[in-house]
Chain A
Amino acid sequence: QVQLQESGPGLVKPSETLTVTCNVSGYSISSGYYWGWLRQPPGKGLEWIGNIDHSGSTDYSPSLRGRVSISLDPSENQFYLKMTSVTAADTAVYYCTRMPDSSGPSHYWGQGTLVTVSP
């Protein structure tokens, strides 16, 4: 049974860097599939951030490109989202997901982790 679980800092100050970790169990992330990040500001809709494939190739939303990077660590079976120069607009629940390919839906989701950007 594939399971994903996010962990994050909870609170980040404006202009700082946010790092969220997704721990994957039940499947080796280096074996295949695409691994993605999405976010949802409180009370609002969903936004796609980007994804990474099992070989480390990435794709990012143009609106966030330059501020975000996604990486994976097969030895820990984890992948990461790093976002620099955060503002209050980056306050959201951050979800990690697994997709069959770059055009596929998110079949598996973590439970989400709320990150608040505040002084």
Chain B
Amino acid sequence: DIQMTQSPSSLSASVGDRVTITCRASQNIDNYLTWYQQKPGKAPKLLIYTTSNLQSGVPSRFSGSGSGTDFTLTINSLQPEDFGAYFCQQTYITPQTFGQGTKVEIK
């Protein structure tokens, strides 16, 4: 299975800050990288697919980049509603696998 490693596991940032979360794959996954946001007690919500494509309705402050094995989710100007957990997922090869998650807290 492809291992997905996210960092950091948690972070605390202020409103307006720029936040970066990284995801590293144990082997090349081309651009088959997805990012989700999950609020407590809720299902994950799709943010970005195929590395950098913003899902409809997702604010433009979210962006994704990378290729191969190293990927980044950036939140420009963090907002209070951005708290929650963020997960990366590779869909290049089955079984699809996820990173362990990054918990974002608003200071």
Contacts and interface: CB of A to CB of B under 8 A. Distances in A.
Interface residues of B, number: 23
A110 B55 CA distance: 17
Contact of B43 (A102, A105, A109): A109
A104 B91 contact: yes
Interface centre among A45, A103, A105 (most CB of B within 10 A): A105
A105 B99 contact: no
Nearest to B94: A59
A11 interface: no
A21 B57 CA distance: 28
Given A48-B95, A48-B96, A61-B95, A112 B43 contact: yes
Tell me the dominant secondary structure on chain A's binding face.
loop
Q: How large is the interface on A (under 10, 10 to 19, 20 to 34, 35 or more residues)?
A: 10 to 19
Interface in B85-104: 87, 89, 91-92, 94-101
Interface of A: 45-48, 59, 61-63, 95, 102-107, 109-112
Given A46-B87, A105-B89, 4 more contacts: A48-B96, A104-B91, A105-B46, A109-B43
Interface of B: 1, 32, 34, 36, 42-46, 49, 55, 87, 89, 91-92, 94-101
